[in-house]
Amino acid sequence: MLFHNIVPSDVHPGDHLYRWRNGKMLPGIAVRRNDNKSEIFVVMPNGLNNFNLVTLIEFKGRGILRRAIYDQSDSYLHLLKLSGTSFIEKKRPIEEIVQNALLLLDITNRNPQCIQEILANNFAKLCCTLEHGDWRNKLLEYGKEILCYSFL
């Protein structure tokens, strides 16, 4: 499949989503909040050195919703796809991806100095591919310093 278009009803927690806006790709990670078992939210950068938790409908806006795909090492189509939409790496389990995204939301909103390097290194891919224990330790260890990106 060359395109990754999906409808909101096909979105699940842990999905690495993206949409295009003004020629730029906006990434996000689908999550569920503890107090809401049915509605999907998206952790996404807000452009102001932190992350927001928005509803799936707010994230989608009037654009087309897309899902990034992983484990594409043997796919010839992987070479044709835009950077940031198709990855050769395997995804972590859904629970870890959601934990990674929510931890990033919490830490960077409390301590935004490290956000630029995380954004520059595709935060959604990092949430999907890094083991949660390593992610948590690095963010907590370096979260108060500009060196928080040393693991990227």
Quote the pTM value. Answer: 0.77
Per residue in 110-133, pLDDT (tens digit) is 766 666 666 656 788 888 888 888
**Please, which residues bridge with residue 28 across strands?**
17
**What is the pLDDT, as a whole number, of residue 83?**
60
Residue 43 has pLDDT above 60, yes or no: yes
Asked whether the beta carbons of 27 and 124 are under 8 A apart, the reply is yes
Task: Give CA–CA dist 76/55, Å, rounded.
Answer: 34
Query: Quick one: the chain helix, strand, coil %, rounded to 5?
Result: 40, 20, 40
Residue 148 has pLDDT above 60, yes or no: no
What DSSP designation does 90 have?
P
Task: Give CA–CA dist 85/38, Å, rounded.
Answer: 26
Per residue in 52-65, pLDDT (tens digit) is 899 999 999 888 89
- Residue ranges with strand state E in 7-134: 16-21, 24-31, 41-45, 51-55, 66-67
Average pLDDT, integer, range 12-34: 87
Q: DSSP alpha helices (H): ranges in the chain?
A: 56-60, 94-110, 115-120, 123-129, 132-142
Alpha carbon distance, N-terminus to C-terminus of the chain: 30
